[in-house]
Structure 1
Amino acid sequence: MTAYAIARLQDVTMGPEIVEYLESIDATLAPYCGHYLIHGGATEVLEGNWQGDTIMLSFPSLEQARAWYHSEAYRRILPLRTANAVGDVILVEGVPEGHRGIDILG
C-alpha cells in the first residue's frame, strides 16, 4: 500500500548545504521509487497554526519509505538538512482506493 514521507520544515537557512541536499536527494529516492507530491507550495491555513514548508514524498509501500529514510545514501545527506532547518518528519501508510471515513470504525 502506498506510503508517504511528510515533513514540515521551518527556519530553513538557504545556503550551500541546503543546495547540496536538494541536488542530492533525488538520487536517494530513485532506488525506492520515491517521488515528490508536494514541495513547499503555497499553503492556505484553514485551522490551527500551520507554519513552514510542507514536503510530501510518495513510495509504493511503508517498507520502501522506511528503507529510503534509513538508507546509507540518505543518511549521508540528512545532516545537510537538519543543520539548516527545524522540522518534523513522519512516515505514514496510505489507504486503499475507495476508502471512506466510516471504514475506520470496523
Structure 2
Amino acid sequence: MTAYVLLEIQVTDMAAMADYREIAQKAVAEFGGEYLMINARPEAVEGTWDGAKGLTLLSFSSVEQARAWYDSDTYAPGIEIAKKATVRRLAILPGFGETV
C-alpha cells in the first residue's frame, strides 16, 4: 500500500536549498519515491493556512520504504541542510491499509 510524506516548508536560505534539492531528489528516487507536488501554496477554503509555507507531498510504496528513505545515509546530508535553511514539519502518513 502507498504511504505519503507531507512536508510543510518555509525556506530561510535559498542558496542552501539548491544543494538540498539535489540530495533530496537523488534520495527519493533511490527509494522509489515520487514527488506528487512541490512547494504548493494551499488555497484556504476553510480555516487558515500560513501563506509563507509551501507543501510538498511524496509517495512511497509503504511506510517502511518512506522511513527507510528518511533514515538513509543518502538523505542524511539533506536533513542537516534543511535544519539550517528551512523551518519545516515532516510527517509520514499511511495510505489505506497501512499503519505507522
**Matched-pair contact (CA < 8 Å) for 2:39–2:54:** yes
Aligned to 2:47: 48
Correspondence 1:1-106 to 2 at 5 A: 1-10=1-10, 12-51=11-50, 52-95=53-96
Count of residues paired in the alignment? 95
Q: Over the residues paired in the alignment, what is the CA RMSD in angstroms? A: 1.4
Greater than 6 Å deviation, 4+ residue runs: none
Structure 1: how far apart are the matches of 2:83 and 2:47? 25
Larger CA deviation: 39-48 vs 1-10:
39-48
The offset of 1:60, in angstroms, is 0.5
Aligned-pair identity (%): 34
Partner of 2:42: helix, strand, or coil? coil
Deviations 1:59-102 (A, max 9, x none): 00000000000001101221111211112110011116xxxxxx
Structure 1 unmatched runs, 5+: 97-106
More strand by share: 2
The offset of 1:28, in angstroms, is 0.6
Structure 2 unmatched runs, 5+: none
Partner of 2:75: helix, strand, or coil? helix
Larger CA deviation: 81-90 vs 55-64:
81-90
Deviations 1:41-71 (A, max 9, x none): 2420112222210000000000000000000
Larger CA deviation: 56-65 vs 36-45:
36-45
TM-score (norm. length: structure 1): 0.81
The offset of 1:30, in angstroms, is 1.6
**Matched-pair contact (CA < 8 Å) for 2:12–2:87:** no
